[in-house]
Amino acid sequence: SATDIISTVEFNYSGELLATGDKGGRVVIFQHEQESKNRPHLRGEYNVYSTFQSHEPEFDYLKSLEIEEKINKIRWLPQQNAAHFLLSTNDKTIKLWKISERDKRAEGYNLKDEDGRLRDPFRITSLRVPVLMPMDLMVEASPRRIFANAHTYHINSISVNSDHETYLSADDLRINLWHLEITDRSFNIVDIKPANMEELTEVITAAECHPHQCNVFVYSSSKGTIRLCDMRAAALCDRHSKFFEEPEDPSSRSFFSEIISSISDVKFSHSGRYMMTRDYLSVKVWDLNMENRPVETYQVHEYLRSKLCSLYENDCIFDKFECCWNGSDSAIMTGSYNNFFRMFDRNTRRDITLEASRESSKPRATLKPRKVSTGGKRKKDEISVDSLDFNKKILHTAWHPKDNVIAVAATNNLYIFQDKLN
């Protein structure tokens, strides 16, 4: 059903847990099972650990608007104790969830019987010490904080800061900085809303905190530019510290140039030295010390350049593809159509197209590289660009922070592929 469509995928910091959010406002968390003694050659699988309803549909009576329950983003907090915490957001409201385990319960109350009924005080003649008895494992998800009413426009990003105390949230025109303990106020750090909305020329498409420097963040725009800001420079980061933009090649200018240059995702490398941006046809890697052009550009599906007209007519040209780094920053991944996803090895510059399908997800199945043919004769293993299915698209992917395990969301199916990728 439409509510099952996966809208975000995110590993936690250790990779032990994997969270998905969907259009129906649900969060499903998968846990990595330890490999069994009798089958040591098999890496452990991911099994459902907890499922909970994070957001419900709402109605804004002042604006007569329905607010979708769809989960736009999930971000894990670094683990501090036995419990896990994550932030999830829909278009308007961010929630902090605590996920904790219970495998014991107290027995032997003084004021009530075992069945829970209150006892008559006169019948209490002795004091009992309650004991903890084992019980079946229960995983509980409880909302600890609700951060609401701070965004006029739809929230597209949340990002936890490296100080582990603050996080930022971004909508089309503003970025707010929150303290994780304070729900009733946030600090507006970027505001690009023009005095006259008719002069609006660009919107914020994504924002992320630097992985190590808690004063630095970046945000991308629909004009294909990225701004890096330093919160130490000024309270309101209206003046960026760095401005990344690749000058357009005038020879390839077309009616669609502006639409396809819009950046749909920006991600810092784990090292913090690079950032990666995804636009409609390509992924670019930028060195933070070089603003005038990317150091690497990877074509995701260049064969679609001749199809932009029909992709505009069926609205696919506005699809927002995400991208991610592997744990060592040596490879990157992003999605495409026909349930294809692309991986680029930054060292060898080799790239591969893989397909997420029922066939490829059978146990011990290996992923076969896919090729798209653009013209003339088609080799037997190739698929013609004209027979690609544009309804099957991989927008959301995640890479395990340490191992070669990837999670790929294909509409309402989650595929997890392990190792053997190299």
Q: Helix or strand or coil: residue 107?
A: strand
Give 273-293 pLDDT, tens digit per residue: 999 999 999 999 999 999 999
**Six token digits for residue 241:** 């510290």
Residue type, 174: R
Give 353-392 pLDDT, tens digit per residue: 999 988 777 766 778 888 888 776 777 788 989 889 999 9
Look over the chain and give the mean of its residue pLDDT values, rounded to a whole number.
92
Is the sign of the CA dihedral 308, 312, 316, 318 positive or negative? Answer: positive
pLDDT score of 114 more than 80: no
Cβ distance 330 to 345 under 8 Å?
yes
**pLDDT of the residue at 42:** 57
CA distances from 132 to 105, 113, 116 (A): 5, 16, 16
What is the percent of the chain with per-residue pLDDT over 70, rounded to a whole number?
96
Lowest-confidence range among 34-43, 87-96, 173-182, 241-250? Answer: 34-43
Q: What is the band of 253 on the pLDDT scale with cuts at 50, 70, 90?
A: confident
> In angstroms, rounded to a whole number, what is the distance separating the alpha carbons of residues 377 and 384?
10
What is the percent of the chain with per-residue pLDDT over 90, rounded to a whole number?
72
pLDDT score of 38 more than 70: no
Order of strands across the sheet that contains 187-191: 155-160, 166-171, 174-179, 187-191
Helix, strand, coil content of the chain in percent (nearest 5):
10, 45, 50
Q: Number of helices and strands (H, E) in the chain?
A: 2, 31
> In angstroms, rounded to a whole number, what is the distance separating the alpha carbons of residues 280 and 212?
29
Phi, psi of 229, rounded to the nearest 5 degrees: -125, 150
> What global pTM score does this model have?
0.90
Q: What is the band of 421 on the pLDDT scale with cuts at 50, 70, 90?
A: very low
